[in-house]
Amino acid sequence: MQDQPFSTPKQEIDNRIKKLQSHLLKLKLDGALILQNTDLYYFAGTIQQSHLYIPAQGPPLLMVRKNLNRSRKESPIKTIVPLASPKQLMALIRENGLKPPSTVGMELDVLPTNNYWQYRKLFPKLVIKDISFPIRSIRAVKSQYELDVIGQAAVYSDLLAERLPCMLKPGMTEIELAGQLEAYARKLGHQGIVRMRLFGAETFYGHLMAGPAAAVPSYLSSPTGGAAVNAAVAQGSSFNIIERNEPVLLDYAFAWNGYISDHTRIFAMGPLSQELVDAHNCMLEIQDCIKGMAKPGAVAGELYQAAVEMAEQQGMGDYFMGVGKDRIRFIGHGVGLELDEFPFLASGQTLVLEEGMVLAVEPKLIFPGRGVVGIENTHVVTQKGLKQLNHAPQEITIL
């Protein structure tokens, strides 16, 4: 737990900006204009309402609408100025010693269409290109500083897994147990917000569900859905009572100081059927195989295909990562400031793994009417394979 606000070191910000500038030069762009909260935090150390201009060469400029004083405390960027309106952008760039761009990169994967057309209208001669892929590629490879923060988030994930058995009691509902565990997570320093980049994707801590309710599919790009408390949420914990002899799924993202550790553990009040135990152990085996294969140079989509083949060889193919049309065609995903970062260990993905990438690997089996078993851990890509950051017991915990 921390006693004072957390800030990103200046050297981190400088290194990130230099990497983006290298991409800008290769793409022959004059600069990049960053607006999305997560990218602002990554490149400026603040999410105050701002426009961050990073020229291909030269110092960055942070133009802030709200709150200027707070942004100056949070960000190590040297030049931070007030911005009353986007109409001022080019004038402010010029006034602060930079050449106004004729071509600029923007985050077109997340920029709302109305905003895009607003900039086109304000600056009709400005050529706007998509810079989202280079940004996400840079963010995919973590620095030692980032790995240290994610490692601490993983420690807190383990503490949640350790605390759940002390909280789970007969007669509890999923939502009651979730509330108690989330209160403990907040006490540890969980930031509450778990950011996702995909349009329409959102989650609250994660999924804590039991028995048949855990196997209910949903709209979310996740193997698990959940009965939920209402149709407005349509995922996660419900008012269903947790019964004895059914698997209890704890699949939470611990977000600490911006960064995420994603993990899953299975619990039960009383023994589970041998079939479910064997199925869970099969997922542990698949995880271990993927850990050994996921070295620098490995192709993301090939790792997914290998996991599918292993599940089929074990007779689990029909339940692996979902059932029928609700099956999710990935086995893992990058994590960092967002829950859905590069790379994706998914069907057809050609991205090559690099040392320093952080992956959540999550082989799971969904049994309709019975529940969910499986595992998830956050790992770092190393020359020897994946280094696991979560260390709570991985076998099913029977209470």
Which CATH number covers residue 70?
3.40.350.10
In a domain, residue 2? The reply is no
Q: Does 209 lie in the same domain as 92?
A: no
Q: Which of 33, 39, 36 is nearest to 63 (CA)?
A: 33
Domain finish residue from 139, 163, 179:
139
Check residue 6 and give its pLDDT: 64
The two three-digit tokens of residue 310, written as one number? 């292993």
In a domain, residue 5? The reply is no
β-pair partners for 379? 359, 388
In a domain, residue 259? The reply is yes
Counted domains in the chain: 2
Check residue 116 and give its pLDDT: 97
Q: Does 65 lie in the same domain as 171?
A: no
In a domain, residue 1? The reply is no
Q: Does 105 lie in the same domain as 206?
A: no
Q: Does 353 lie in the same domain as 214?
A: yes
The one-digit pLDDT tens for each residue of the chain (399 residues) are: 444 456 899 999 999 999 999 999 999 999 999 999 999 999 999 999 999 999 999 999 999 999 999 999 999 999 999 999 999 999 999 999 999 999 999 999 999 999 999 999 999 999 999 999 999 999 999 999 999 999 999 999 999 999 999 999 999 999 999 999 999 999 999 999 999 999 999 999 999 999 999 999 999 999 999 999 999 999 999 999 999 999 999 999 999 999 999 999 999 999 999 999 999 999 999 999 999 999 999 999 999 999 999 999 999 999 999 999 999 999 999 999 999 999 999 999 999 999 999 999 999 999 999 999 999 999 999 999 999 999 999 999 999
Question: Rounded to a whole number, what is the distance in angstroms from the first to the last CA of the chain?
Answer: 29
pTM of the predicted protein model: 0.96
Domain finish residue from 139, 154, 172:
139
The 10 Å Cβ neighbour count of residue 108 is 14
Q: Which of 39, 53, 50, 43 is nearest to 107 (CA)?
A: 39
Q: Does 153 lie in the same domain as 68?
A: no
Boundaries of domain holding 181: 141-398
Domain finish residue from 139, 174, 198:
139
Q: Does 250 lie in the same domain as 348?
A: yes
Distances (CA, A) of 109 to 42, 91, 112, 198: 16, 27, 9, 9
